[in-house]
């Protein structure tokens, strides 16, 4: 019996292979994105948006709640919201996470830096698409 179980586990491991490794890293990316969005000093998102899992008292209401954005927008559109938010509203107060100009009230330590790296943007988009 023990041997049968051991064989089954081995078989499953063989079948799983790279596919399982990929889904592991996808899960990690989503978790990283969630952490960035909920962090008040990294993504800044929670300063303006209600974020699922973050208490209302610790989140903003300048922008729409992020719950459901994965159903409202495609991954590509969500990336555009992050990188070029003015495409959706020319007068938006939402800062681009990828640019450095036009920031107001940034702490001196953050001057001259984009809010997020490309890897962080990928993680945030991966997380946002899960908010259906
Ligand atoms: C200074 C406030 C502010 C910050 C910071 C901010 N946003 Fe926004 N965001 C807005 C506003 C306001 C809108 C509504 C559209 C508009 O007027 O630009 C918006 C729209 C959006 C939308 C479209 C939502 C919808 O339902 O149409 C998404 C997605 C989004 N923001 C994600 C983010 C993420 C992720 C971050 C953090 C990386 C972030 N925002 C940071 C203010 C902000």
Q: Is the pLDDT of residue 8 over 60?
A: no
Domain assignment of residue 62, given as a range:
22-128
Which residue has a Cα nearest atom 30 of ligand 1?
A: 81
Q: Which of 40, 63, 131 to mutate to test the pocket of ligand 1 (most atoms within 8 A of CB)?
A: 63
Contacting residues for 17 by C-beta, under 8 A, at least 6 apart? none
- How many domains is the chain partitioned into structurally? 1
Query: Is the CB of 89 inside a 6 Å radius of any atom of ligand 1?
Result: yes
**pLDDT at position 10 over 60:** no
Residue 109 in any domain: the answer is: yes
Q: Is residue 26 part of a domain?
A: yes
Residue 1 lies in a domain: no
Output the pTM of the full model: 0.84
pLDDT of residue 99: 84
| pLDDT score at 127 | 97
Q: pLDDT tens for residues 46-100?
A: 999 999 999 999 999 999 999 999 999 999 999 999 999 999 999 999 989 998 7
Dist. CA 128–CA 122, nearest whole Å: 10
126 lines ligand 1 (CB under 6 A): no
CATH number, position 56: 1.10.760.10
Tens digit of each residue's pLDDT (9 = 90 or more) over 91-109 = 999 989 998 765 555 566 6
**How far is Cα 35 from Cα 41, in angstroms, rounded to an integer?**
11
Q: Ligand 1 pocket, 40 CB below 6 A? A: no
Average pLDDT over residues 22-29: 86
Average pLDDT, the chain: 85
């Amino acid at each position: 019996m023990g041997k049968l179980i051991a064989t089954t586990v081995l078989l499953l491991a063989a079948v799983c292979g790279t596919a399982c490794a990929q889904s592991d890293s996808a899960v990690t990316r989503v978790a990283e994105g969630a952490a960035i969005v909920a962090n008040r000093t990294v993504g800044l998102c929670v300063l303006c948006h209600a974020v699922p899992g973050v208490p209302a008292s610790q989140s903003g209401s300048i922008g729409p709640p992020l719950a459901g954005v994965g159903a409202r927008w495609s991954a590509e559109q969500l990336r555009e919201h992050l990188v070029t938010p003015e495409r959706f509203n020319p007068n938006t107060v939402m800062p681009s996470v990828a640019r450095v100009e036009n920031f107001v009230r940034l702490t001196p330590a953050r001057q001259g830096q984009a809010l997020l790296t490309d890897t962080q943007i990928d993680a945030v988009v991966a997380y946002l698409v899960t908010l259906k």
